Amino acid sequence: MTNDSTLQHKQPDPVLYAFSTKDELCERLAEYVIKLQNAAIERRGKFLLAVSGGSLPSMLAKNLVNRQDNAVRWDKWHVFFADERLVPLDDKESNYKLCDDELFSKVPEFPRSQIHTIDTSLLHDAEELSDEYEKQLVHAFAGKDSS
């Protein structure tokens, strides 16, 4: 007979990183994202990224936009939103708008079709909108072509 505790998977311990400056954080974030991007492209031919709002879009943009080494493969990126608000995409509260202002608009070669937003025609029905966006996320992150 097995004990329930033997069936549980041990979660890895969290890792905490500390940086002296915001510039150092942005530089290391860019290195990390490029590393993940390269591994994802090698494994499945595309890079899926879910972003939130706040300071993240500007931190991503700082060392990813206008790189001289062409390390960022924008054509392989697919961006989703982890905590989008139920507002029109051009609303000042929209995380999409923030990402567009800070990142997407600064990368003309970024395929707009690979930016996956909420369906604003469903803003009147939060549950339906959430269900539809969840389907997009599941298809992208858990579907056959995501592995």
The CATH number of whichever domain residue 135 belongs to comes to 3.40.50.1360
- What are the pLDDT digits (tens) for 88-144? 999 999 999 999 999 999 999 999 999 999 999 999 999 999 999 999 999 998 866
Q: What is the mean pLDDT of residues 61-84?
A: 95
Q: Is residue 8 part of a domain?
A: no
Question: Residue 63 above 70 pLDDT?
Answer: yes
Q: Is residue 28 part of a domain?
A: yes
Q: Is residue 9 part of a domain?
A: no
Q: Is residue 3 part of a domain?
A: no
Q: Is residue 2 part of a domain?
A: no
Q: Is residue 142 part of a domain?
A: yes
User: Which domain covers residue 78, as residue numbers?
Assistant: 15-146
> The tokens of 109 are what?
């070669």
Question: Residue 3 above 70 pLDDT?
Answer: no
> The tokens of 75 are what?
């054509």
Average pLDDT, the chain: 91
Question: Residue 147 above 50 pLDDT?
Answer: no
Q: Cα–Cα distance between 85 and 96 in angstroms, integer? A: 9
Q: Is residue 10 part of a domain?
A: no
Handedness of CA 22, 26, 28, 33 (dihedral sign): positive
- At residue 13's C-alpha, the angle toward residues 17 and 146, to 5°, is 85
Give percent of the chain with pLDDT exceeding 70. 91
pTM for the predicted model, two decimal places: 0.84
Class of residue 41 by CB neighbours under 10 A (exposed 0-12, middle 13-18, buried 19+): middle
pLDDT at res. 12 = 86
> The tokens of 39 are what?
């591994």
pLDDT at res. 49 = 96
Q: Is residue 4 part of a domain?
A: no
Question: Total structural domains in the chain?
Answer: 1
